Structure 1
Amino acid sequence: MQPTMDEEPFRQDDLIVRPVRPWTPGVHALLASLPLHGFDAAPKPDGFDDVWERVTYLPGATGDLGDCAEMRSKQILQSAARLLRRYHHSSALVLRDLTVAWPWQLPPRLPSEVICHGDFAPYNVVLNDGEVIGIIDFEAAHPGPRIWDLAYAVYRWAPLSSSVAVEGLDSLATQIQRARLFVDAYGLPVSERSSLPAGIIERLEALLAFMEREAARGIERYRRNLQDGHDRIYREDIAYITKWSPEIVAGLRN
């Protein structure tokens, strides 16, 4: 059976199976190379054919910020940032050694310092014993600057959004505090933090353009996203971050 472009991944014993995409070879090359450079917190590739790809299942808890108090804890937030830093260190070495110009779902960006995860959000990590111990779903991986990946991670983990429906995370002060904890744990130099709000805005604008382009191509997932108002939320968040950018920068630096 030929899968559709909207087919969801599913678990099969100790594997996660999803349809093959044009970027699958690059993602599998990345996942195969990460352990060679000291990173063992990602799925291992288990091959692909003309229809399906398979990666190993990472055991542990998954969810989003609204699912449980543990996911919103300081310990989880900081361990996520530290794991992202480890991933960036290893993926920079993978990128250095790449000999094939693989196609990626998202366009590479310059300067290409690391292979960005592309969607490092709470719903794409695995928890165990109060720590983030794994990263999943590398479909959006692509070469780019580390700040490009970090900006989107901060946006999702703080979360810097005007439409947060999670109790305790809906105030700007709390969001800035969590953003500060994240960049501190990641180890982002203070001198680089002023550019973070602008980086988030640019990343969201790129996401909007991608969604609209894919919807125009007839990809049902993105057509549904637009119908459900995801684009409106991102535009509201762009306005929110733009408005409060001086306060965000001050909170990240001071």
Structure 2
Amino acid sequence: MWKMALRRRSRPVASLGMVDYQVLQDDPHRRVVRIGDTVRRPVHPWSASVHELLRYLREIGFLYAPRLLGIDDEGREVLSYIGGESGGRAWAKVAENEGLVAMARLLRGYHEAVRGFSPVAEAGWAARTGAVNTGELVCHGDFGPWNLVWRGYRPVGILDWDYAWPARPIHDVAYALEYVAPFRDDGTCLRWLGYSAPPDRRRRLEVFAEAYGLSSTVGLVDEVVAQQRAVWQRARLLAAQGRQPQVAWRESGVLDAAAERIRWSRANRHLFE
């Protein structure tokens, strides 16, 4: 959530005997490494639910999620590695219509794939307990361009399922639109998000919505603001529970910055409607 920096901050591959080792992310509270063709990541109290989701996607032949390979002797989840570009390099992919459309279609494909999933794990989800309600499915919950693996302008994988949770499908659409419309000021778009000129936000929202399969964009700005608030509230709840990195976000002002972005979205809705 709220990523501007690399989510896959890679260091050079080092040889450990016959095994390649690479640090993909070296955050203080979340070290992610690649060992050969596997990725090792820390688990959360709700990871059993996420693992059930990944197994389901594997069973039905959804090819864009990593395969869950087990838990290693350090207690980390072991996932299959998906080669390509992600993290900070992904922003430029969705600045062009080709990548924007491909991202929307992949999201629709995931939602169609997951409609038959009825989780039974009792671990719950990040800041969410209880069953999947009528009208909901298990959303990815963090569907931004940095969490996709790209080969050219084609997304070939979806990363970081930690914040999957039951919600209406429009939640994932609105989450993606916050970042790809984007609901950011011109300076941020030009400095950080790969745009050579201020984006036509209304048109980009329409292109994404059409590619996903929506028949109308009416109400989408309200949905974006609603998901911004839901994600912000989830982060605050996880921080209150002592979870990382949300505690660090609270202490460093990241949560305050997120609240300010919600205010920006409300004040600038005319750019999207």
- Correspondence for 1:131: 154
- Correspondence for 2:6: none
Amino acid at match of 1:183: A
The 8 Å contact of residues 106 and 141 in structure 1, kept in 2 or not, is answered as no
The 8 Å contact of residues 38 and 80 in structure 2, kept in 1 or not, is answered as yes
The 8 Å contact of residues 93 and 100 in structure 2, kept in 1 or not, is answered as no
Distance across 1 between alignment mates of 2:196 and 2:220: 19
Give structure 2 stretches of 5+ with no counterpart: 1-26
- Correspondence for 1:48: 71
Q: Per-residue displacement from partner, 1:58-108 (whole Å, max 9, x unpaired)? A: 11111337x66444221111101100000000111123xx34444111426
Report deviation, 1:155. 0.6
Amino acid at match of 1:179: L
1:1-254 to structure 2, matched below 5 A, reads 6-48=29-71, 51-64=75-88, 69-95=92-118, 98-107=119-128, 110-162=133-185, 165-167=188-190, 168=195, 171=198, 174-190=200-216, 193-245=217-269, 247-248=271-272, 250=273
1:143 aligned counterpart, secondary structure: strand
Distance across 1 between alignment mates of 2:128 and 2:186: 28
CA shift in 2, pair 1:218/1:90, >3 Å: same
- Correspondence for 2:3: none
1:54 aligned counterpart, secondary structure: strand
The 8 Å contact of residues 162 and 170 in structure 1, kept in 2 or not, is answered as no
Distance across 1 between alignment mates of 2:196 and 2:248: 27
The 8 Å contact of residues 47 and 123 in structure 2, kept in 1 or not, is answered as no
CA shift in 2, pair 1:240/1:39, >3 Å: same
The 8 Å contact of residues 178 and 224 in structure 2, kept in 1 or not, is answered as yes
Distance across 2 between alignment mates of 1:43 and 1:5: 24
Distance across 2 between alignment mates of 1:32 and 1:220: 26
The 8 Å contact of residues 43 and 57 in structure 1, kept in 2 or not, is answered as yes
Amino acid at match of 2:105: R
Distance across 1 between alignment mates of 2:256 and 2:196: 20
Distance across 1 between alignment mates of 2:108 and 2:141: 14
CA shift in 2, pair 1:19/1:68, >3 Å: closer
CA shift in 2, pair 1:43/1:164, >3 Å: farther
The 8 Å contact of residues 89 and 114 in structure 1, kept in 2 or not, is answered as no
CA shift in 2, pair 1:121/1:187, >3 Å: same
What's the TM-score, normalizing by structure 2? 0.78
- Root mean square deviation of aligned Cα: 2.6
Identify, as 1 or 2, the structure richer in helix. Answer: 1
Identity in percent:
28
Amino acid at match of 1:234: A
1:94 aligned counterpart, secondary structure: coil
- Number of aligned pairs? 240
The 8 Å contact of residues 114 and 143 in structure 1, kept in 2 or not, is answered as yes
Report deviation, 1:36. 3.0
The 8 Å contact of residues 238 and 246 in structure 2, kept in 1 or not, is answered as yes
The 8 Å contact of residues 42 and 76 in structure 2, kept in 1 or not, is answered as yes
The 8 Å contact of residues 91 and 145 in structure 2, kept in 1 or not, is answered as no
